[in-house]
Amino acid sequence: MSSVPTPTPPRDVAHACAADDVAIDADLGWALGVVFRSYLKIAHHAMSEVPGGPRGYQVLAAAIHGQQNTQLALANQLGIDRTVMTYLIDDVERAGLVERQPDPADRRARRIVVTLDGHALLARLQERLKLAEDHVLAALDEDERTGFRTLLRRIATHADAADPARSPCEVVDDVAKITGTEPPRHPR
């Protein structure tokens, strides 16, 4: 999607831009893509001053209330590869937003602690992201926004709980029905 993306998305995925074609815009995937990319475009712009863009922001946000502050813990939480995390934190640290500190309990690990500058920047970014949300929801009135947020959050919570990345087996059969393919025989 990002797909995004595309989706980015992703990039990937989440990535291809949607058509403004009438016959397609009835479908959920198209609408999700347009809305998500619309949010991402603004959010990405808003986060352009933190090194690593959205990824850097996520690291800041995750590290700030972290019980689990090591690089690997952050990487797992955010779904970022640990080798990428190294470069990412290199950049964020160079910008003075976080510091690598030795973990007193494990000399292999580094605790990522957010500096004062990091706190200040994060607060500013979060304000901007709220405005970005309002911008995305501009077509709805107050009550509709609340309703939409509630429904979306329920869908997201449900989807997140079933995310194959964390609980593969539950979803496999479901996906198999949808795609018409045989479920893989648990190569993990």
Partner DNA sequence: TATTGTTATACTCTATAACTATA
Partner DNA sequence: TATAGTTATAGAGTATAACAATA
Q: Name which of a second copy, DNA, none residue 43 binds, using a CB cut-off of 5 to 8 Å depending on partner kind.
A: a second copy
Nearest distance from C-beta of residue 130 to a second copy, angstroms: 8
Query: Does position 46 bind a second copy by CB under 8 A?
Result: yes
Ranges assigned E (strand) in 22-161: 98-103, 106-114
Stretch of 91-99, 101-109, 111-119, 175-183 lying at the interface with a second copy (CB under 8 A): 175-183
Distance, in Å, from the CA atom of 35 to the CA atom of 132, rounded to the nearest integer, reads 12
Structure tokens at 96: 């003075």
Q: Name which of DNA, a second copy, none residue 44 binds, using a CB cut-off of 5 to 8 Å depending on partner kind.
A: a second copy
> How many residues sit in the footprint of a second copy (CB under 8 A)?
94
| Contact set for a second copy, span 131-160 (CB under 8 A) | 131-133, 135-140, 144, 147-149, 151-160
Nearer to a second copy, 81 or 102 (CB): 81
- Element of type H or E holding 160: helix 142-161
Question: Are the C-beta atoms of residues 113 and 101 closer than 8 Å to each other?
Answer: yes
Instruction: Give the residue among 161, 159, 136 at the shortest CA–CA distance from 149.
Output: 136
Structure tokens at 67: 């019980």
Query: Does position 82 bind a second copy by CB under 8 A?
Result: no
Residue of 24, 72, 120, 123 that binds a second copy (CB under 8 A):
24
Positions that interact with DNA (CB under 7 A):
11-12, 15, 70-73, 75, 81-87, 89-90, 100, 103, 106-110
Nearest distance from C-beta of residue 92 to DNA, angstroms: 11
Nearer to DNA, 29 or 147 (CB): 29
Classify each residue of 149-166 as buried b or exposed e, where b means 16 or more C-beta atoms within 10 Å of its C-beta.
Answer: eeeeeeeeeeeeeeeeee
Distance, in Å, from the CA atom of 130 to the CA atom of 30, rounded to the nearest integer, reads 24
